[in-house]
Amino acid sequence: MKTSQKQTTNLFSIIESSRHPNFATLYQRLNIQEHCFNSMRKVIKQLKTHQPDYIVAEFFYGFGNNYAGVNISNLDVMLYSLQKYSPNTKVIVLVDKEERQYVDKLNDIIPLHTVLIRPFSEQLLIKALTTPRK
């Protein structure tokens, strides 16, 4: 007789600012293994060998010189890497209300799973983590 084991969900948290919420306890409750990164370079390196179920990352719009005018935000290069290495990863973007208008441009690179506007409730994140891709 086979015993069924609950499969662990893997999530990459990209923490580039002190405003990134700490949901470690929530992730544990949902049987999600969180892997924290503080740079896109480290995430991209991991994507070459590990395909997470989710990525939770903050959005920072490139107002001019930060992203050389070619990219929309801090997430562009990572999203291009997802196309190649992990196209089924669901991306959850955290954004300030003032920058929300720029986020949809990222859907041209890879469809975003959910966009959460700060401040958001834990319930909205739970919904994003338990809802199938659109």
Q: Contact at 8 Å (CB) between 67 and 76?
A: yes
Does position 87 have pLDDT exceeding 80, yes or no? Answer: yes
Q: Contact at 8 Å (CB) between 17 and 58?
A: yes
How many residues appear in the chain? 134
Q: Contact at 8 Å (CB) between 45 and 78?
A: no
Q: How many CB atoms lie within 10 A of CB 53?
A: 17
Does position 75 have pLDDT exceeding 80, yes or no? Answer: yes
Q: What is the pLDDT of residue 62?
A: 80
R_g (Cα) of the chain, nearest Å: 15
Q: What is the pTM of this model?
A: 0.90
Of the candidate ranges 8-22, 66-80, 118-132, the one whose mean pLDDT is the lowest? 66-80
Band (18; pLDDT cuts 50, 70, 90): very high
Of 114, 74, 111, 108, the closest CA to residue 94 belongs to 114
Does position 121 have pLDDT exceeding 70, yes or no? Answer: yes
Q: Considering the chain, what percentage of its residues have pLDDT values greater than 90? A: 79
CATH architecture of 9-130: 3-Layer(aba) Sandwich (3.40)
Q: Give 55's contacts (C-beta < 8 A, 6+ positions apart).
A: 11, 12, 14, 43, 78, 82, 89, 90, 91, 92
Q: Which residue has the tokens 């659109």?
A: 134
Does position 71 have pLDDT exceeding 90, yes or no? Answer: no
Q: What is the pLDDT of residue 2?
A: 47
Band (3; pLDDT cuts 50, 70, 90): very low
Find out whether the peptide bond into 119 is cis, omega within 30 degrees of 0. yes
Domain regions of the chain by residue span: 9-130
